[in-house]
Structure 1
């Protein structure tokens, strides 16, 4: 199954999802600010922990540059709460159990996993401007080193 990928210059699809505390969070709530929205396969797995901790460790410089970080996975809110607590993650983790938002962003589909084609989450990051328009659409990113590269692309030291 091929999903449509977002391109820079297109409006980011709006959504409302539950966060790690079971509260509704809408993308529209962040209009007027810049957003780093990243999709990851599963909370508390090694690669996803590395990525979340890299965002955690960069939150000061990202926030100073006006960015809010939001993580999205298919995990239920209770697992996201445990992940957030365990690794002191200072940003919202959003639950998309039916992968509807993943599909809207083109982050659900076929991928290679240990040499086999499987259907699942395509680790991806999107940067949205103050109007909710995609400025960066990065698909198939690696967990390790991605945040440092993203900061470089955004001119954040």
Structure 2
């Protein structure tokens, strides 16, 4: 997984509206990237909504926000519209960004092993340096964890 002190990996992906979003768009800005397993599932909805409900506090702290999963642009759009998120959701169907952050990993659930996204949050400063990694994300307290 990406560590504190690492640089923001270069990426380009489509947001929920099919518009290209690049890591370059965030040069000189503080950035929070949260990775979630699947749009419109209970835990992911709780996390994304908590961040959205606290977006003004996060913005006051200077943060830009991006949510990323392996869902399609269409699924991200439905999720985005359903909850009126005030930040972009990126579709990473080919796992390019997920692999750069090393959050696409072998997971175990009920005795079965499968590849999936490890729910995690990365915070970058204005220079694109990772200042914090939150590996144990509390879905209903995600914004508070970011603001700690």
TM-score, normalization: structure 1? 0.89
- Deviations along 1:32-63, whole A, 9 cap, x unmatched? 11000011011111111000000101100010
Asked if the contact 1:123–1:142 (Cα under 8 Å) also holds between the matched residues in 2, the reply is no
Residue of structure 2 in register with 1:79 after alignment = 75
Listed as ranges, the gaps of 5+ residues in structure 1 are 153-157
Name the structure 1 match of 2:103.
107
1:86-132 per-residue CA deviation (whole Å, 9 max, x = no partner) reads: 01111000010011110110110012323533221100100011011
Q: Which runs of 5+ in 2 are unaligned?
A: none
Structure 1 ranges of 4+ moved more than 3 A: 114-117
Structure 1 counterpart SS, 2:33: strand
Residue 123 in structure 1 maps to residue 147 in structure 2: no
Counterpart of 1:36 (choices 32, 36, 40) is 32
Q: What is the deviation of 1:150?
A: 2.2
**Could you tell me how far apart the structure 2 residues matched to 1:148 and 1:106 are?**
24
2:75 and 2:100 map into 1 onto residues whose CA distance is 23
Q: 1:147 is matched with which residue?
A: 143
Of 86, 90, 94, the residue aligned with 2:86 is 90
* Count of aligned pairs: 148
Residue in 2 aligned with 1:18? 14
Query: 2:54 aligns to what SS in structure 1?
Result: helix
Alignment check: 8 A CA contact 2:4 2:131 kept: yes
Give the TM-score normalised by structure 2: 0.94
The 8 Å contact of residues 107 and 139 in structure 1, kept in 2 or not, is answered as: no
Q: Residue 70 of structure 1 aligns to a residue in which SS?
A: strand
